[in-house]
Amino acid sequence: MEATVAPLGRKAGPESDILVLLRDFTEGDRINQMRTDFIANASHEMRTPLASLRGFIETLQSTAKEDEAARERFLPIMAEQAARMTRLIDALLSLSRLEMNAHVPPSDLVDLNDVLGHARDTLEPIAADSHMTLEVERFAKPAIVRGDRDELLQVLQNLVQNALKYGRPNGSVRIEAKHIPSLSQHARGRFAISVIDDGPGISAEHLPRLTERFYRVDVDSSREKGGTGLGLAIVKHILNRHRGELAIASKPKQGSTFTVMLNESQPAGDRASLSTASK
């Protein structure tokens, strides 16, 4: 609610009439504001690598035209700036696709053990390149959820890539998989997948804002590590569509734990029908 107070009439004084305008910020206003902020942020993020590319192109066209050493130095930086633009555009497209499908819950049956296996295969080489270790636990039994396999894989990739980016140099990242049974036979249990790093951690004031689009604890460190500021926003959108949740626990110097919670596809009492459905 916004209040504007102004004196009415010529003489402003204790006895003059006062006009009070009350303006209610509706949900619509808030969404419009968020949209405007998002467009401003996205444009700013795209302008930065573009400005850098233009600068290098101008230098190469003029002073450094005949300078072989300068060309060799600039070209990899230019390639990285172009790659950054591509990552940003890919992330923006993912977000817009997720927003379009936000109200359509996924209908396939997915075994989270398959997703964990695939995540391990794609992420182990990346961990090895960064001289870090990745340990992936699986559920003791098939862990079936209603979901989109690619989107769930994307969730794990984003969380593990963050753990590798912001974790301790030469540190370790662990994925733990736990089944949380329901207390009643006819209610659904849950599956918890935690991505745990032994990095510098995040202080409490940042935690509630981490899934906001373009929110970063340290903008320079994120950019330097190739971040777009959209990874956790994408995770949140995917989990919303899956009626899942993300819990973040972190303390400075003690590492971070990002836990994904997903509902089991069927109540324990109805499992018999699942094996037929998943074939």
Q: Rounded to whole angstroms, how far apart are CA atoms 175 and 23?
A: 49
User: Can you tell me which of 84, 120, 174, 216 binds ligand ADP, judged by CB under 6 A?
Assistant: 216
Q: Does 256 bind ligand ADP (CB under 6 A)?
A: yes
Question: In which region does residue 162 sit, left (phi positive, over 0), alpha (psi from -120 to 50) or beta (all else)?
Answer: alpha
Q: How far is CA 271 from the centre of its chain?
A: 33
Rounded distance between C-alpha atoms, residue 155 and residue 116, angstroms = 11
Q: Any contact of residue 227 with ligand ADP (CB under 6 A)? A: yes
Specify whether the CB–CB gap between 258 and 233 falls below 8 A: no
Residues 172-201 vs ligand ADP: string with x where CB under 6 A? -------------------------x-x--
Q: Can you say whether residue 91 is alpha, beta or left, with left for phi > 0 and alpha for psi between -120 and 50 degrees?
A: alpha
Residue 193 or 232: which CB sits closer to ligand ADP? Answer: 232
> How big is the CA angle at 132 (ends 148 and 219), to the nearest 5 degrees?
75
Q: Which of 81, 94, 147, 166 binds ligand ADP (CB under 6 A)?
A: 166
Q: Which of 127, 136, 152, 232 binds ligand ADP (CB under 6 A)?
A: 232
Name the residue with tokens 């734990």. 257
Task: Rule CB under 6 A: say whether 162 interacts with ligand ADP.
Answer: yes
DSSP 234: H
State the minimum distance, in angstroms, from the CB of residue 158 to ligand ADP: 6
Question: Closest CB to ligand ADP among 49 and 227?
Answer: 227
- Residue 231 binds to ligand ADP (criterion: CB under 6 A): yes
> Which residues are near ligand ADP by CB under 6 A?
158, 162-163, 166, 197, 199, 202, 210, 216-218, 222, 227-233, 256
